[in-house]
Each structure stands twice: as C-alpha cells, then as structure tokens.
Chains A and B, each alone.
Chain A
C-alpha cells in the first residue's frame, strides 16, 4: 500500500445494505451509499430537501454556528433556479482566457518559489496559499486580500481538534459584513458589489442573501480544494510514472482530473432533509429526519466503476459524483477543475519528480467508518525538470 492510497471504508455496508446510519449532534443521518441511489435522491428535491434550518443539511450539522442561509445550495427548486442563473455565468469565468492566464501566473509563481527550497509542507505552505490566491480571481478582489484568508488556516469553521468552532466562524461573518458594507458604500466590480447590485426573479438581492452566497464561496471551496490539490501532489509523488505520462500525453490530463476527483472525493457527503415519510434502500425514512448523499462511497461503487479502488488516469467512462449531482452540483466546479488543470500543466513543465518526505493522514470519523480525506501534514520536495 502506498502513502497516497485512499481506502474505501463503505464497501461492505454499500454491498450489504446500501445505506448506513451515523450519529451527528443528536440529529442522526442515514447515509446513501450506492451511486444510483445517491443520484436519485439528489435529483428528488421534493422529497429530499436542501431548504431547512440553515446549516442542517451539512454533515456535521452547522445549526449551532450559523443562522445565515447559504445560497444557492440551501434553497430548493424552483426558487433555486433564479439564484443559480445569476451565479453560473460568474462562476464559469475560469473558462475565459484572461482568467486562465492569471491563474497560470499564480500557480507558476508558487511552484517556482517552492522549487528553490529543500522541502515544502504542502497543506499550509502550498495548497492553502494556492486556494486563497486563486480565490482572489474568483471573487475579483485584490491579490493582497489572500494574505488575510491564508492567516485563517485551512478551515473557516473549524480549528485544530474542534469539529466546529463558532468563534472562528464569527471571524468570517464579521469580515463579510465589513466587505459588504464597503461594497454598499463604494461599489466596484468584485463579487461583493455584483451580488449587492443583482436582482433575482425581479427582486433585489439583500445583504443577508449576498452574505449567504459568500459564506458558501469561502467555506465550500476551502478544504475541498486544499484536499484535492494535496491529494494530487501526494499521488504524483508516489507515482512518478504518472507524472511522466501526463507530461507525455497532455490529451489525457482532462480525464485524469476527473479521475482524481472520483478517487479523492474531496467532500465525503452532503445531507438532505426528508419532507415526507418514504423509504431508502427498503429502509424507512421518516419525515423531518436526515439522509446524506455519500459521494465518496458512490464514487467507488463497483457495480458502475471497473477497478474502483485504482486510479486509472485515462478512464474514459467516469460517471462520478465528486462534484455532486443534479440541481445542486458544485457551483465552484469550473474553478476547481481549472486549478487542477493549471497545476498539472505547471508540474509537467517545471517539476521532474516529487519526493514524499513525510505524511500524516487526515481521517474523518463517521461512527463505524474512518475515511481518509487528505492530510494533516504532507511534506514533499519538488525536483526541477
């Protein structure tokens, strides 16, 4: 077994029952584990709702640390469509040439800086820095803003050893209030101002709604991107032949990115609230209880994926749900894909091999299931090409 391997802890439960039950702060969760079930539940927004008390659909629940509704992902269709219609064009900007060039420059500079040194601790010195600097492009804010975001660490809601940290979350909320007030006083072309100036379904967006979009942007794309980047680096360090193959066959890089997302599944699962008594996998699901859509398990479903526990760099058919599925699929997916794509391009150009010096896994605990989601520490050395 290699250090970068990520095991599938859900295999037995998925094969035997198709679901599992875990406890979460006195509000238990029934996890859906099979790909088709996950997709069907994700698509059935009437029975499995995202619109409940703010924070409840997230697992672990965030009801104790926020009252602001995250938009659009805590809004059900049809209302969801108006918000998504407003946000999609903005979040697709990473496909524009100008954006790509700026992102390339950010990644190239960071990799080049770290080629000179002996070693780099990837989580805090590379992935967090990359995520924060890239976020300035997504928000269209000054590059310098990234320094403050980097100082917050890898989580905006969590601190070391604490599942959820209300004080820490408050730092983000205070920051967003301040930035939104600034944007109200002096509108610019950043996302803060764009949201405050926007109308959805003929109604002006409120400050609270804008804040909800921004909390999602900061929190949803933080540890997920950090884990995706860090896991990719660990894998390429463990598999120098794969880095060489990506260098030799640029045409497979797009498929490799989708395969990394499938295999790593940066977000383990996302919850829904059951709106009416129903059944999931022949198991009763009562109204006002929660289920979760376990992307990580679905992405290893052996009835769909051949060799699900291997990274097949050029996997042609890859119907993964690493970015979710249906209405609420990941708003930041275009940005995340562009970050990974740029990172691989720069590595292929500038890095010959990556030495893996030290790694400590980051394990999530869900009752009977321990799932590796990334690393607490990952120290590597980038060797010049």
Chain B
C-alpha cells in the first residue's frame, strides 16, 4: 500500500492510499480538485498535470517522450511536471507528494 499526498491550488492536502492503478485514477476517484483526467488516462488531455516534490523526482520517475511533448505546451509546466495518468502506483511511490498544477 502506497500513501500519496496531493496538494491542491487551494492549499488543501489530501493523502490517499492504493496499491495499483494510475495516480490519476486515484485522484479522480477521490475528487482531488484540479485533476480531471478527461481522457481516462491515455496521455491525450493533460488535465492531470502535477508537480512532483523536487526531492522526490527520482521516486516518481521520468516522463516518456510523448508525455514530455504534452507537458511542453501545458500551462504551469516546469522541470518537476508529470502527467499523473502516466505514473503507475507501486509500493515505491509510498510517501510521494504531488502539487496539482491547475
């Protein structure tokens, strides 16, 4: 079971637990504000944009080329940006902190 914390633009902190699926699905199922996941997780809409806590970038992993191309033209993108539909939940993510970008 991995504990993942989302911090919304309203500065609300929400910690959720899961052991499988995508981080986007977890956020959408629990109504995390700012994570819409319109395309269901196929890297087409960029409505699940998050900033990874800078000290945990290695833990979250790197964006693929297709994901990076999407992020390049997303509002509020920076070096810590990920689309969380592309982050699969495993035990390795335990303690991850993500700030919702929009």
Q: Is the CB of B40 within 8 A of A317?
A: no
A320 / chain B contacts, CB cutoff of 8 Å: 44
Q: Is the CB of B73 within 8 A of A315?
A: no
Identify which of residues 1-57 in chain A touch chain B, using a CB-to-CB cut-off of 8 Å: 36, 39-40, 43
Which residue of B40, B66, B69, B70 contacts A255 across the interface (Cβ within 8 Å)?
B40
Q: Does residue B38 face the partner (Cβ distance < 8 Å to A)?
A: yes
Chain A interface size, under 10 / 10 to 19 / 20 to 34 / 35 or more: 20 to 34
A323 / chain B contacts, CB cutoff of 8 Å: 45
Q: Is the CB of A304 within 8 A of B66?
A: yes
Interface string of A318-357 (1 = CB under 8 A from B): 1111010110010001100100000000000000000000
Which residue of B40, B70, B73 contacts A258 across the interface (Cβ within 8 Å)?
B40
Q: Is the CB of A317 within 8 A of B73?
A: no
A325 / chain B contacts, CB cutoff of 8 Å: 73
Q: Does residue B42 face the partner (Cβ distance < 8 Å to A)?
A: yes
* Chain A: minimal CB distance from B71 (Å): 11
* Chain B: minimal CB distance from A364 (Å): 24
Interface string of B62-97 (1 = CB under 8 A from A): 001010011001000000000000000000000000
Chain B interface size, under 10 / 10 to 19 / 20 to 34 / 35 or more: 10 to 19
A315 / chain B contacts, CB cutoff of 8 Å: 42
B45 / chain A contacts, CB cutoff of 8 Å: 323, 329
Most chain A CB within a 10 A radius of its CB, from B40, B43, B44, B45: B44
Q: Does residue B1 face the partner (Cβ distance < 8 Å to A)?
A: no
Q: Does residue B41 face the partner (Cβ distance < 8 Å to A)?
A: yes
* Chain A: minimal CB distance from B32 (Å): 14
How many angstroms from the CA of A334 to the CA of B38 in the assembled complex? Answer: 7
* Chain A: minimal CB distance from B26 (Å): 15
Q: Is the CB of B66 within 8 A of A40?
A: no
How many angstroms from the CA of A333 to the CA of B44 in the assembled complex? Answer: 12
How many angstroms from the CA of A349 to the CA of B43 in the assembled complex? Answer: 29
How many angstroms from the CA of A337 to the CA of B41 in the assembled complex? Answer: 14
Which residue of A39, A258, A326 contacts B39 across the interface (Cβ within 8 Å)?
A258
* Chain B: minimal CB distance from A358 (Å): 34
Q: Does residue A245 face the partner (Cβ distance < 8 Å to B)?
A: no
Which residue of B38, B40, B69 contacts A319 across the interface (Cβ within 8 Å)?
B69
B43 / chain A contacts, CB cutoff of 8 Å: 317-319
Q: Is the CB of A319 within 8 A of B73?
A: no
Q: Is the CB of A36 within 8 A of B69?
A: yes
How many angstroms from the CA of A40 to the CA of B45 in the assembled complex? Answer: 15
B39 / chain A contacts, CB cutoff of 8 Å: 258, 318
Interface string of B10-40 (1 = CB under 8 A from A): 0000000000000000000000000000111
Which residue of A36, A40, A319, A334 contacts B44 across the interface (Cβ within 8 Å)?
A319
B41 / chain A contacts, CB cutoff of 8 Å: 254-255
Interface string of A247-259 (1 = CB under 8 A from B): 0000000110110
How many angstroms from the CA of A315 to the CA of B41 in the assembled complex? Answer: 11
* Chain B: minimal CB distance from A77 (Å): 10
Most chain A CB within a 10 A radius of its CB, from B38, B42, B64: B42
The closest CB in chain B to the CB of A321 belongs to B44
Given contacts A36-B69, A39-B73, A40-B73, whether A317 and B42 have CB atoms under 8 Å apart is yes
Q: Is the CB of A333 within 8 A of B38?
A: yes
Q: Is the CB of A254 within 8 A of B40?
A: yes
* Chain A: minimal CB distance from B9 (Å): 14
Q: Is the CB of A317 within 8 A of B38?
A: no
How many angstroms from the CA of A255 to the CA of B66 in the assembled complex? Answer: 17
How many angstroms from the CA of A329 to the CA of B38 in the assembled complex? Answer: 12
Q: Is the CB of B69 within 8 A of A317?
A: no
Q: Does residue A316 face the partner (Cβ distance < 8 Å to B)?
A: yes
A258 / chain B contacts, CB cutoff of 8 Å: 39-40, 42, 44
The 7 closest A-B pairs by CB, nearest first: A254-B40, A318-B42, A43-B73, A258-B42, A319-B43, A319-B44, A317-B43
Chain B interface residues toward A at CB < 8 A: 38-45, 64, 66, 69-70, 73
